[in-house]
Amino acid sequence: MKPLGIKAKVALATSITSIMMIALVTVVQVQRVKQDFSRVLFTQQTALVGRTAEELDDKLTALLEIVAFSARKQPPGLVNSAERLRAYYQDRAILSLFDDLIVYSADGKAIADLPVVPGRAGMDVTDRAYFRQVMTTRKPMITEPVLGKYQREPIVQMIAPVLDERGEVVCILSGVLRLYKNNFLGHLRHATVGSSGYYFALTRGARPVYVLHPDPNRLLQPRGGQLNGATTLALADGFEGTVDSVDTEGREVLNSYKMLKSVDWVLGTSLPADEAYEAFDGVLARLLLWGGLASLLTALLIGSLAAHLLISSAVSSEARPPTPACKAYSSTHRMPSWWSAWTAASKPPTASASAASAIRATSCWAARSRCWCRRRCARAMPATASIFLPSGSAPSRCAWGVAPCCTACAATAPNSRSRST
């Protein structure tokens, strides 16, 4: 294979360098864009879980205050009659805020319930930790999520003591939220983050359990499977924010966490990484496409410009000003007949096509205004070119001492540099 010329090599090297530089800039910009995109995405997810946690805190606190207010307003004498208790709360707005309303006696027995569930009256809750705590502190509280004793469903209760004039507990009012029902906790359990993400909540204790999860089978169940390291950090150290993580099913996700103030729970979100970075992947594809096209166009432009500049520089450096003798000779001589016959031939008999092309392109007669002994001609003309010299012209070394030339041409060269063969 014919080796590449210096001009082709320079143009190729320039083009490759330009492509590599544009590729390097593109890679750096892609990394920077991804970092900026991730920072914005993490900020948005952290803000989302923070706003949701604040709303959840407000609702839980408001419900607890409503229960506490209702307990303060309840006449202590109603505790002796289940019918009077039901009649009292039947028309109260508090009933519309909870799935169930239950009044317990100071002995831990269910006195009245709304709506009425057969067999629930008389249910004993003295073994529950929340009952013992409210009897001790005599303050309203939000209980830990537990399985209801009667219907065996996961529930959360807001309870408050009803005190008499002496400050003694006469009964306990309980508002029940069923985690399976369509209350505000149920709405959050079915809410989505993005298209396929979800909310979840866990208690922060020695044995954390799920309070919220889209899978109802996980409610009140401990964490299982491959434990999420980010969730473990949030439960143990109270971490808040957004991180890349891997969920219990081994999928890459974005997890965001926020501690609740009204209860000792942590609220979290889980968003699949594929969905989270879907918009960035589209931007990345377009950036790589346009970067590749720009690299090719730039390489072609720079290569063409470099080749053009090299050719122009070579021509300008090789063309030498004609000597007075050359000017005089060129003005009185014209292209001989042998030259016309030679240039009309499709293939010279002994000279190669490249040599013939070089001679045609660089002959003094082909460039009338230039000296016969141009450097470019001298370099290109091989020894076999002497067969094309006019009859009677002895070959002579040109002024540059490189290739044979006719004696007429040699006569016009600078005397200080010509020498005979």
Q: Give the pLDDT confidence of 332-369 residue by residue, as tens digits.
A: 554 445 444 444 543 444 444 444 444 444 444 333 33
State mean pLDDT over 247-255: 85
How high is the mean pLDDT of the chain? 75
User: Token pair of 244, please?
Assistant: 């890349």
**CATH code of residue 234:** 3.30.450.20
Which of 23-37, 186-200, 377-391 is predicted with the least confidence, judged by mean pLDDT? 377-391
Cβ atoms within 10 Å of 406's Cβ, excluding its own: 22
Shared domain for 167 and 208, answered yes or no, is no
| Contact (CB, 8 A) for 414 and 323 | yes
State mean pLDDT over 133-140: 94
Shared domain for 157 and 195, answered yes or no, is no
Which pTM was predicted? Answer: 0.62
Q: Please state, in angstroms and as integers, the Cα–Cα distance from residue 58 to each residue in 51, 64, 184, 235, 286, following that order.
A: 11, 10, 12, 22, 44
Residue 375 domain-assigned (yes or no)? yes
State mean pLDDT over 23-36: 75
Residue 220 domain-assigned (yes or no)? yes
Shared domain for 163 and 196, answered yes or no, is no
**Count of domains forming the chain:** 3
**Terminus-to-terminus CA distance in the chain, angstroms?**
35
Residue 146 domain-assigned (yes or no)? yes
Range of the domain at 109: 74-178
C-alpha neighbours within 13 Å on the C-beta side of residue 332: 7
pLDDT at 413: 45
Residue 288 domain-assigned (yes or no)? no
State mean pLDDT over 208-214: 92
Shared domain for 84 and 139, answered yes or no, is yes
Shared domain for 200 and 224, answered yes or no, is yes
User: Token pair of 149, please?
Assistant: 């004793």
Query: What is the secondary structure of 197-244 as a DSSP string?
Result: EEEEEEE-SSS-BEEE-SSGGGBTPBP-SS--HHHHHHHHH---EEEE
Any idea which residue has 């939220």 for tokens? 177
Q: Which comes out higher in pLDDT, residue 347 or 129?
A: 129
C-alpha neighbours within 13 Å on the C-beta side of residue 392: 1
Single-letter code of the amino acid located at 256: S
Shared domain for 172 and 236, answered yes or no, is no
Residue 197 domain-assigned (yes or no)? yes
Residue 149 domain-assigned (yes or no)? yes
3-state secondary structure of 164: coil
* pLDDT(322) > 90: no
pLDDT at 211: 93
Q: Which comes out higher in pLDDT, residue 169 or 295?
A: 169
pLDDT at 260: 95
What pLDDT digit, counting tens, does each position of 39-95 carry? 888 999 999 999 999 999 999 999 999 999 999 999 988 888 899 999 999 888 898
